[in-house]
Structure 1
Amino acid sequence: MVNPYAGEVEITLDGVPHVAKLTLGALAELEAGLGDASLMDLVERFEGGRFSGRDVLALVVAGLRGGGWRGQAGDLVAVEIGGGPVAAAKAAAELLARAFSLGETK
């Protein structure tokens, strides 16, 4: 069970629930993977509904790794994400929102 007050989001991979969380290390890894874009650029894309599949994947991977998962982005190619792409996008948005909130949930 996840703790939304700790910034956690549940993501199900092949029927197995995982805790995802954007820790400081996960955020640094995410930012390194964004290239020229900043975390604020990413937040603005999500707020404006202009995010890409690459954005969703980067956030999901960073969140899973922050939750202790040891995989890489390539490991998700053949994995069934519970709820499909829509649930993955929702989880990505929740990860961002919870990472930058003051303990409030949506």
Structure 2
Amino acid sequence: MPPSPQTPPGRADKVLHAQLTFTNGDVLMASDWAGGGAYEGMKGFSVTLDYESEQEAERIFAGLADGGHVLVPLQPSFFAKAFGMVIDRFGTPWMVSGGAITA
């Protein structure tokens, strides 16, 4: 955050706005916790990533799982050739799928 009289004490090193633009044009935006109390962690949501191929889903899932915690191993499901759930090393919950199954 830029120095400012409105910046709460202890927050000067936090990220106000961040943007990650993927090669396909998709955008993911984020910021650090700015609440007044203790941060309780991320809960009640997942970030979902869906890929055309099972192989790309496997590659991304492996990267997110590195240092993280796998909730549901990447495996076939009724809607995709690969689906899994993982919490990355930063505590972000993810659902990853690839190779959609169409009727």
Using the size of structure 2 for normalisation, the TM-score is: 0.25
Question: Based on CA coordinates, which of the two structures has the bigger radius of gyration?
Answer: 2
Question: Greater strand percent: which structure?
Answer: 2
Higher relative contact order, chain-length normalized (CA < 8 Å, sep 6+): 1
Using the size of structure 1 for normalisation, the TM-score is: 0.25
